Structure 1
Amino acid sequence: MHPERKVGNNEGSIMGQAVKAAFPAIDRQGLNRLETHFIASEIYRRDDVAARQAKLARLISTNVIPQLLRLHTDVVIDAPAVEVLIKALAPGRLEISDLADIVLGSDLEAAVAYVAILRERGLSMETLFIELLEPTARLLGEMWDRDECDFIDVTLGVARLQKLLASFNSTHEVPALDQRRQVLMAMTPGDQHSFGVTMVERFLLAAGWEVQTELSATADELAELASRKWFAVAGLTMASEERMESLKGTIVQLRKHSQNPTIGIMVGGPLFTENPALAQEVGADATAPNAPAAVVTAQMLFDVSVSTGLPA
Structure 2
Amino acid sequence: MAKTSMNEEYFDRSAYDNANRQMQLVKQGLPQDAVSVLAREVVRRLAFRMPRSEAPDTLPNPSEIELLCAALLSADEKAADKFIQAARRDGVKASAISSGYVAGAARKLGEMWDADRISFVDVTLACGKLYSIIRGLRHVLAPTFTAGREVRPALFALVPGETHTLGIEIATDHFRRDGWEVDMLVGLDHDMLISKADQRHYQAIVLVANSDRMMQPLTRLSLALRITQPLAHIIVAGSILDHHPDILHLVGAEAAMPDIETAAATLRELLGPAAI
Question: TM-score, normalized by length of structure 2?
Answer: 0.42
**Larger relative contact order (C-alpha < 8 A, sep ≥ 6)?**
2
Question: TM-score, normalized by length of structure 1?
Answer: 0.37
Which is richer in strand?
Answer: 2
